[in-house]
């Protein structure tokens, strides 16, 4: 018998930063500031990421582009790879992401690309705890409580 299946994704929408709990607000503001460190002469789109580790430390990242386009890297992955390379034993608690065009925060949140979602899934699994994702726009903010909500049916057939 054929059976239609459905996947539910849950996230919370906030209207502005003041509605977030303090540690999330700090992370979101840090991501907005981190976008200033983007090196994005080709797309002229700046993305900042702020990653809070389970020891409370915040690691920032920003997109880094290259004239050979695929050599560049998204903001999220610069932060996660740095964190795992520096602190391999410390799990990742929450990541905030903010995209800016012409130096202005986009009204709607910048949503991470598929490759970044895949990398988030790996580190969530490695850390053995849920990783929250906070997508920051100037008109709305979306909070996901785990990577599964952004990347359902993650590849895990090697396990
Ligand atoms: N980018 C990120 O850094 N993160 C995202 O979530 C989306 C896209 C970067 C990659 C590239 O440098 C620029 O934004 C335009 O795609």
Give the CATH number, domain containing residue 96: 3.40.140.10
**Rounded Cα–Cα distance for residues 60 and 97 (Å):** 10
Residue 142 maps to a domain: yes
Predicted confidence at residue 100, as pLDDT, reads: 98
In the predicted model, residues of the chain with pLDDT beneath 50 are none
Average pLDDT along the chain: 97
Answer whether 62 contacts ligand 1 (Cβ < 6 A).
Answer: no
Q: Is residue 6 part of a domain?
A: no
**Residue 157 domain flag:** no
Whether residue 76 lies in the annotated active site: yes
The structure tokens 């903001």 sit at: 75
**Domain assignment of residue 158, yes or no:** no
Number of domains composing the chain: 1
**1 CA distance to ligand 1 centroid (A)?**
43
Rounded distance from Cα 146 to ligand 1 centre (Å): 21
Chain-centroid distance, C-alpha 70: 19
Q: Is the CB of 76 within 6 Å of ligand 1?
A: yes
How far is the CA of 92 from the CAs of 45, 79, 80, 137, 150, in angstroms?
26, 11, 8, 22, 16
Tell me the residue ranges of DSSP E strands in the chain: 12-14, 45-53, 58-62, 92-101, 104-105, 132-136, 141-144
Cα separation, 118 vs 151, whole angstroms: 7
Q: How far is the CA of 99 from the centre of ligand 1 (A)?
A: 8
Q: What pLDDT digit, counting tens, does each position of 23-45 carry?
A: 999 999 999 999 999 999 999 99
Q: Is the CB of 127 under 6 A from ligand 1?
A: no
State if residue 72 touches ligand 1 by the CB under 6 angstroms criterion.
Answer: yes
* Percent share of the chain, pLDDT over 70: 100
- pTM (global) more than 0.95: yes
Nearest CA, atom 6, ligand 1: 112
Which domain range does residue 114 map to?
Answer: 12-149
Please indicate, yes or no, if residue 5 is contained in any of the structural domains: no
């Amino acid at each position: 018998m054929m059976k239609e299946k459905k996947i539910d994704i849950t996230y919370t929408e906030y209207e502005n930063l003041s509605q977030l709990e303090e540690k999330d607000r700090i992370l979101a503001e840090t991501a907005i500031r981190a976008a200033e460190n983007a090196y994005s002469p080709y797309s002229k789109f700046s993305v900042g990421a702020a990653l809070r580790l389970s020891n409370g430390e915040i690691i920032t990242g920003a997109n880094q582009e290259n004239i050979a386009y695929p050599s560049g890297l998204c903001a999220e992955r610069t932060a996660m790879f740095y964190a795992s390379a520096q602190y391999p034993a410390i799990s990742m608690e929450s990541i905030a992401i903010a995209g800016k065009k012409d130096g202005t925060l986009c009204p709607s949140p910048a949503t991470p690309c598929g490759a970044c979602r895949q990398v988030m899934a790996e580190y969530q699994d490695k850390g053995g705890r849920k990783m929250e994702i906070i997508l920051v726009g100037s008109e709305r903010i979306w909070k996901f409580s785990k990577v599964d909500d952004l990347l359902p049916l993650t590849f895990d057939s090697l396990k």
